Amino acid sequence: MNTLSAYESPPRLRGVQQRLPSLRDTPIAFAHRGARAHAPENTIEAFQLALRLGANGLESDVWSTADGVAVLDHDGQVRRLLRNVALSTVNRADLPGHIPTVEELFAEVGHNFHLSLDVKDPSAVAPLARSVADAGYAVECLWLCSPHESVLDECRTAIPGAHLVHSTRLQRLPRTFEQHCAHLSASGVDTVNLHHSEWNGGRVVMCHRFGLNAFGWDIQYAEAMENGLRMGLDGVYSDHVDMMVDVYAGTIGALERPR
């Protein structure tokens, strides 16, 4: 992940002069791992700060502990006895206090935001479903991401109504991009998530033609953010929430959070 300042000079990009339409009236601005450029990543502090800075979406990775609790962490490992061990082998009570549960996220941060979760551990799907249901969180604001369609199938079964996001890279596709969009649309996946550098106006239009949202991740520079929004991306991810909100305001207008 590039963590250079959002205001340093970016690589030269071809500008998009006129904004192309998105599928969404208000594209989603996801704070990657919370406001990780401003606070410790994947902490309640980072998530709260991201919303205060103006993001309308939060992003994290979800895992399950040994005792079946859905928790938020990037790597899915903790340091114990001078070595790294998998979260799945540790009970919730034995985890460091900075690693929040999904239940704690809703209790301390609220509900009025979109939530994008990378499902790194399929065993996290069931405890995540329980936490979402117990909190009364609106599943239409939940975006579940995986490069594996089998995991997305599990998510569809466990959390009906949640958005299913196929996160991939172009070189990994087993078919042409158009064929892939057709395949995802037919299988009930509603979003394609690519690195922002792999998007162009034609691919965004292709996604939209099949009724798919187009999400772009790792947008750390203002020029890249503006280009992504102008080409019609429906969701953008950045570490630099202040930059993302400023560019969004200048390109689209005020960010709106779900009620």
- Give the CATH fold of the 28-251 domain: TIM Barrel (3.20.20)
Q: In the prediction, which pLDDT does 38 show?
A: 92
- What's the confidence (pLDDT) of residue 119? 98
Q: Taking the model in full, what pTM does it have? A: 0.91
Q: Cα separations (Å) of 31 from 46, 48, 64, 171, 209?
A: 9, 10, 22, 26, 27
| Tens digit of each residue's pLDDT (9 = 90 or more) over 143-177 | 999 999 999 999 999 999 999 999 999 999 999 99
Domain boundaries, the chain: 28-251
pLDDT (tens digit per residue) in 172-219? 999 999 999 999 999 999 999 999 999 999 999 999 999 999 999 999
For residue 64, the model assigns a pLDDT of 96
Measured distance CA(74)–CA(60) in Å, rounded? 7
Q: What are the pLDDT digits (tens) for 74-97?
A: 988 876 655 788 888 899 998 988
Partners of residue 29 on adjacent β-strands? 236
Q: What is the dihedral of CA 236, 238, 240, 241, to 10 degrees?
A: 50
pLDDT at 19: 85
Write out pLDDT tens, residues 17-64. 678 889 998 999 999 999 999 999 999 999 999 999 999 999 999 999
Tell which residue, 49, 48, 105, 46, has the closest CA to residue 72. Answer: 105
pLDDT at 17: 61
